[in-house]
Chains A and B, each alone.
Chain A
């Protein structure tokens, strides 16, 4: 059996890749994809905790995370499309009307 730490290590690495993606990329859709990667890395860690604890609630939470991520994708893409129609770009460097 593979040790728990390996799963957690993989999950943390995926999470870090997601965070870096959000911080580095400039395209709103790619940023959104990076956020989805973060969610999936959390799903992985929850499932491995759940499996090693012999407790099923972690897996139930994963289903809810998947459902919420789907709802968020629908809303997020709608917002991105609404912005694209008015502005013609999804590059977050050009989305800069609101600033101090």
Chain B
């Protein structure tokens, strides 16, 4: 005899389809009656069980429907579109983080250029005031006919005096020129530093950066009263 197929004893459409009733014993015709009755009892039990399950599911549907209709407050607080609202909140937070990063980078950049500009201004102002001072020295020296630290002593003779003045002028001119070179060097170094610092803040450094920055020319030496 073929056993009922499902392991948990439940009847499946497949089992009904494939069930093979044994033939009746020798001398009788047809199928084995006992087996047929047994099969019918099994089928009945299965149908009852399915009906019960259907009823309890219908109850559950009713219960859930009532809960949904009652609104979020009545249930666990879960709303149908909460997933979307949550996603919006997450995306919003991500956008705010991105905004903050960009703003920070800009602020950093702004401070950097600000500092560089201020430093450049200071150096320029210092160079200028020194140049003005030096010039005033030279003029004062010339006016007096004896510059401070004039190398040759005055002996009263005119050629000697001129020679002394000439020597003083030459010396002063050399010193002045050296000073000016030093200031210009500092200025240039600073400008290069500024440029480099800025380039480092950019992600890509162009090999063919358009042109080195223009160094602001020192203005013509002003004649300013002290």
A binds B: no
